[in-house]
Structure 1
């Protein structure tokens, strides 16, 4: 990747606000995150969500360590705007909206004119067909000696164009247009990332905006996440299935998860038999294999054991 993706940190959580950055994370970095923003026209539902994208802490650690992203102290980057700058920004925003509305109106009027021209051409062709049909009928009547039918004048049965019909007062709804308004805060005059950008976890930790991982379990989760990522898997949160991660063989939009991964802090950690039974039963009930991931902090290696419920006898 040529440009490092800005991860805007607030309250120890990392967010991505740019749609292009969200697409790059998914397509190039195999990092999905979770959308948590409300859509403007669908504010009463929580199935289809929009920006921002919130990342798991393991995803943030991976992206920063691999050099794909930088951390930005978002509250510090937003300075209090001057009244003149805010007024100028609001004026420019209104002018941009007016220009978009004017362009939409011009496009709509041109489409109506083209449609009207097509309808006029269709009416003319239909009138010509009826005239030819009437002339043929008169010629046939003359040949058969039916002079009364031959003297019948031509009647135009073409429909009246909408513009020629008498107008009646109707209530018309206001025209609705789709406008594009920039959502990135990086274009604001009072937004400045200088002195608020950190390219390493150590610098962000010293600045007090990021402290993950802080203990052995969090370091183990980061190590397991990175190892699975390097093997080509996609990861998501696995708390709903009794584990730390859901492991997908490809993009979660195309594949179901194959494993539920549980991170074990060290190879000598204690694991109770009932935990093994519970993981096996839960994995089978959800059509997944449960993956026990033992992290060796000294060797920085992961040992994997999968559990599947099997019948006996």
Structure 2
């Protein structure tokens, strides 16, 4: 399998291809963060979809391992050719015709599920017709009213409106199908990390990743990364990793605050620094609960 495409847009890194996003998670333990709304549920933010935004540390790791390549996303915003517009219209027409059949099948299933109600409706209609005949002075026999015949096989042929094109769902591409990035001749520069803290974050991320952990952003818990023993979809994080320069000074109150923060969310605070021997050092803080 070739290199995965990481799209650069306004200094941020995105993955638009669903297969690439799945490969990153399943084969490379790179989780990222979904930030796109779901087409069928756009007014909620509990469940999100593509694109997948990557941390700069995740991006640097993938580039160093040769797993992915950067793609300039500005090439994806060019005006399409007339042939591409025609191809898109043909694609949408095919999807529309497929939706017609899917809509009919869904309507059939609904009618089958509500067969008893359909039969009751026909009986009610037949009763109303009998009452109208009675009012007109006609002599009728209503003894077989409850035996109105409703053939279940004929139900699907009635009450199934044709799906209008304006009501059909329109498929939105998560990745442009018109641009081929495989022959990109101009490499996209990647300058992260630059500062000492950024270098430390990359070193810590890579070290924990190579130890077999999954990592995500830890900003919502007051850290740099959340460290998981397995896929975050199945496990809670064990550690809140916070990257600190080796000789940075902080007070006892800072230590207490970090320890209590970890205890409050039932995680261990992991202080990460780069020692004089150029090795990563880890210090864990756990609140004992003693007053």
| TM, length-normalised to structure 1 | 0.71
Q: Where does residue 243 of structure 2 map in the other structure?
A: 263
| Cα distance change, pair 304–195 in 1 and its aligned pair in 2 (3 A) | same
Query: 1:162 Cα deviation (Å)?
Result: 4.4
Select the structure of larger CA radius of gyration: 1
Distance in 2 separating the partners of 1:197 and 1:46: 37
Q: Deviations over 1:108-132 (max 9, x none)?
A: 39x78xx7xxx9xxxxxxxxxxxxx
Q: Deviations over 1:69-124 (max 9, x none)?
A: 11111113543323x2343233222332244235537x739x78xx7xxx9xxxxx
Flag the structure with more relative contact order, 1 or 2, with Cα contacts below 8 A and sequence separation at least 6: 1
Aligned 8 A contact 2:218 2:240 in 1: yes
Q: Where does residue 42 of structure 2 map in the other structure?
A: 43
Q: Where does residue 184 of structure 2 map in the other structure?
A: 195
2:260 aligned to 264, 281, 289, which one? Answer: 281
Aligned 8 A contact 2:51 2:174 in 1: no
Aligned 8 A contact 1:10 1:74 in 2: yes
The answer to whether structure 1 residue 301 and structure 2 residue 279 are counterparts is: yes
Q: Where does residue 231 of structure 1 map in the other structure?
A: 211
Q: Deviations over 1:181-230 (max 9, x none)?
A: 47243421x565643664xxxxx33xxxx321111100100000000001
Aligned 8 A contact 2:269 2:286 in 1: yes
Aligned residues: 257
Q: How does 1:53-68 map to 2 (within 5 A)?
A: 53-68=52-67
Q: Where does residue 27 of structure 1 map in the other structure?
A: 26
1:212 aligned to 188, 192, 198, which one? Answer: 192
Query: 1:44 Cα deviation (Å)?
Result: 1.2
Q: How does 1:50-129 map to 2 (within 5 A)?
A: 50-82=49-81, 84-101=82-99, 103-104=101-102, 108=105
Q: Where does residue 133 of structure 1 map in the other structure?
A: none
Distance in 2 separating the partners of 1:74 and 1:94: 24
Distance in 2 separating the partners of 1:183 and 1:56: 23
Distance in 1 separating the partners of 2:7 and 2:48: 19
2:173 aligned to 170, 179, 183, which one? Answer: 183
Match of 2:197, SS? helix
Unaligned runs of 5+ in 1: 120-154, 199-203
Aligned 8 A contact 2:92 2:170 in 1: no
Aligned 8 A contact 1:77 1:193 in 2: no
Query: 1:19 Cα deviation (Å)?
Result: 1.2
Q: Where does residue 248 of structure 1 map in the other structure?
A: 228
Query: 1:34 Cα deviation (Å)?
Result: 0.7
Aligned 8 A contact 1:58 1:225 in 2: yes
Query: 1:3 Cα deviation (Å)?
Result: 2.3
Aligned 8 A contact 2:71 2:181 in 1: no
Q: Deviations over 1:136-161 (max 9, x none)?
A: xxxxxxxxxxxxxxxxxxx8975512
Aligned 8 A contact 1:289 1:308 in 2: yes
Q: Where does residue 4 of structure 1 map in the other structure?
A: 3
| TM, length-normalised to structure 2 | 0.75
Aligned 8 A contact 1:77 1:191 in 2: no
| Cα distance change, pair 276–76 in 1 and its aligned pair in 2 (3 A) | same
Unaligned runs of 5+ in 2: 116-143
Root mean square deviation of aligned Cα: 3.5
| Cα distance change, pair 225–286 in 1 and its aligned pair in 2 (3 A) | same
Aligned 8 A contact 1:13 1:54 in 2: yes
Distance in 2 separating the partners of 1:50 and 1:219: 30
Query: 1:173 Cα deviation (Å)?
Result: 6.0
